[in-house]
Amino acid sequence: MQIDWVAVVAQIVNFLILVWLLKRFLYGPILRVMEERQERISREMDEAGEREAAAKEEERRHREARRELDEQRDEMLDEAREEAEATRRQLVEQARHEVQDLERRWHESLREEQDAFVRELRERMGRQVCSVARRALEDIANQELQAQVLSVFTQRLRKLDDARREELRSALGDADRAPRITSAFALTSAQRNELQAAAREALEDDLQLSFEESDELLCGIELAVGGLKIAWSIDSYLDALEHSVVGAIERETASEGRERDAQAAEAPSVDDVMPPSEVMPPEGEDRE
Amino acid sequence: MNQAMRLTPDELIIFEIGSLSVSATFVFTWLLMLLMAGGAWLITRRLSSDVRISPAQNVLEIIVMGIRDQISAMGVKRPELYMPFVGTLFLFIAVSNIFAAILPGFQAPTGSLSTTVALAFAVFVAVPIYGISQRGLGGYLRQYIEPTPLMLPMNVIGEFSRTVALAFRLFGNVMSGSLIVGMLLMLAPFFFPVVMRLLGLLTGLVQAYIFGVLAMVYIASATRVARGESDDVQPEATATKAV
């Protein structure tokens, strides 16, 4: 078993060829590919890192935008709430005004009704008093009452103060018609003469009176000179009666109004104010 | 019987060209070269740098990476520089021994003394080439007179003796493996040869590993002394002891 040196040299050559072949076909390509893969992976990692950073940035911006949106929304909600509150206050105020307006109008109509009532009452009372007086005069002493009325009126004529007398005289000068005596009852000629005398005594000596009758003067008599009048009638008493009745009614109404205002002030809150359409003047004894 | 008792494939002449007789060593060497280079070419012509790769590429990558990691473990800076040489040593011996163990009739070229001497001689030449290319001529030669010039004869003798040991270790192991199988076939034709072939597979791979690692250790010690005087001797000593 000796060493064949030719074979050794041949094997060395073979081995070197194999080294070259494997370097060419095995180590080189494999190492190159692995290096490429490593580069690629590191590149992709870098890209992924960049993308992640970009995504984080994006997320941060989204968060920011969302926060801004939330703030805007809150602001808008607050504004809307304030506006709604203001509108509500305004509406309540308006409703309160309308209610007050209605109340005021109701008061006015009530007052008108009161006035009408008082007028009617006065008329009715005047008529009543008149008819009572008339019936009483007819039943008892018709002539006497007329005489009394006449004498009171005559007395008044005679007892006119100077200022009044002057007024009447100047009115008499201006007048184009004769002074006129209007009475609710027919005057006898004696009564007419007496009136004539009293008028002449009070005003002018050559005064000529005209006479007429009228039912509007309730059991009274009046002297019209131009635009001025001197009268006595149940009217004046009725006026006094009317004053006292009206005063009583107004006092009553005023006290009721105060009670209503006090009740309105005690109301718990503005929310409880009824809509205007439902606010109606209370009905009942106040209208009678 | 004759084949089994043959000590080396050198003695089996396949054919002759003129006065040159071509033995089985060369035929099987060429066969191995064809298989390895052709297989590598077939696989590496369609390589992918993608993350998904073919299983064959995966196997090749594992082998190449394993060789590179082993070379790196020797402490050299650029394993790519030594990989073609050392890696081919390991792969050639490993494939040759594996085929010998699993293919009946295959004569391992590594069982031929001329092949192992050729490989050892290649290492013997490669060590100074790598050493000089890395450290320069002076730097390489200086290691022979270290630690003292008195050690020069010892170092030169060691250089030669380790080459001879490299060649005969591989030859002896592979040859003895096939020899034992041949003898066992005569004594106990059943079962035992199979076990011995399994053992041959193991020893074949171990021998390939040892040859590659020793070659790398010699190269590393020749290129690495610049870093420290004591480093170059130690790995060689431990590796040789391990064998």
pLDDT tens, residue by residue, B73-130 = 888 888 888 999 999 999 999 999 999 888 878 888 888 888 899 999 999 999 999 9
pLDDT at A199 over 50: yes
By Cβ distance, the residue of B83, B91, B114 closest to A3 is B114
pLDDT level of residue B221 (50, 70, 90 thresholds) = confident
* Residue B105 three-state SS: coil
Give residue B179's pLDDT band: very low, low, confident or very high (50, 70, 90): confident
Strand pairing class (A180-183; A221-225): antiparallel
User: Which pLDDT score, from 0 to 100, does residue B118 have?
Assistant: 92
Which of A108-117, A265-274, B133-142, B209-218 bottoms out in mean pLDDT, i.e. has the lowest?
A: A265-274
- Read off the pLDDT band of A140 (50, 70, 90): low
Contacts of B177 (CB under 8 A, 6+ apart): B100, B101, B111, B196, B199, B200, B203, B204
Rounded to whole angstroms, the Cα distance separating A234 from A160 reads 20
ipTM of predicted assembly, 2 dp: 0.82
For residue A13, tell me if it sits in a domain.
Answer: no
Please give, rounded to a whole number of angstroms, the shortest distance from the CA of B39 to a CA of chain A. Answer: 9
**Picking from A121-125, A128-132, A223-227, B175-179, which range would have the lowest pLDDT averaged per residue?**
A128-132
pLDDT of A279 over the 80 cut: no
Q: Is residue A157 part of a domain?
A: yes
pLDDT at B242 over 50: no
Q: Which of B49, B62, B70, B171 to substitute to test the interface with A, most A CBs within 10 Å?
A: B49
Q: Greater confidence, A135 or A213?
A: A213
| Per-residue model confidence as pLDDT tens digits over A142-184 | 667 777 778 888 888 888 788 878 887 787 777 767 788 888 7
In chain B, what residues touch A37 (CB-CB under 8 Å)?
49-51
Ranked by mean pLDDT, which of A12-21, A147-156, A234-243, B132-141 comes out on top?
A12-21
Buried b or exposed e, range B122-152, using 16+ CB within 10 angstroms: bbbebbeebbbebbeeeebeebeeeeeeeee
A25 has a chain B CB within 8 A of its CB: yes
In a domain, A144, yes or no: yes
Q: Work out the pLDDT band at A47, boundaries 50, 70, 90.
A: very high
Pseudo-torsion of CA A262, A264, A267, A269, nearest 10°?
A: -130
Check residue A269 and give its pLDDT.
Answer: 46
In a domain, A201, yes or no: yes
Please tell me which of the candidates A17, A21, A26 has its beta carbon nearest to residue B64. A26
Give the count of domains, chain A. Answer: 1
d(CA B195, CA B181): 9
Residue A61 within a domain: no
pLDDT bracket for residue A207 (50, 70, 90): confident
Are the Cβ atoms of B44 and A31 closer than 8 angstroms? Answer: no
Determine the Cα–Cα distance for residues B220 and B207; give it in Å rounded to an integer. Answer: 19
Tokens 């010690």 belong to B221
Amino acid at B17: I
Contact B114 A8 (CB under 8 A): yes
Q: Do A11 and B33 touch (CB under 8 A)?
A: no
User: Is A11's CB within 8 Å of B109's CB?
Assistant: yes
Is there a domain that residue A34 lies in?
no
Alpha-carbon distance B146 to nearest alpha carbon in chain A (angstroms): 31
A174 lies in some domain = yes
B24 touches chain A (CB under 8 A): no
Cβ separation B49–A22 shorter than 8 A? no
B61: closest CA of chain A, how far (Å): 6
Which residue, chain included where needed, has tokens 């030859």? Answer: B171
| Cβ pairs bridging A and B (under 8 Å) | 114
Q: Is A82 among the domain residues?
A: no
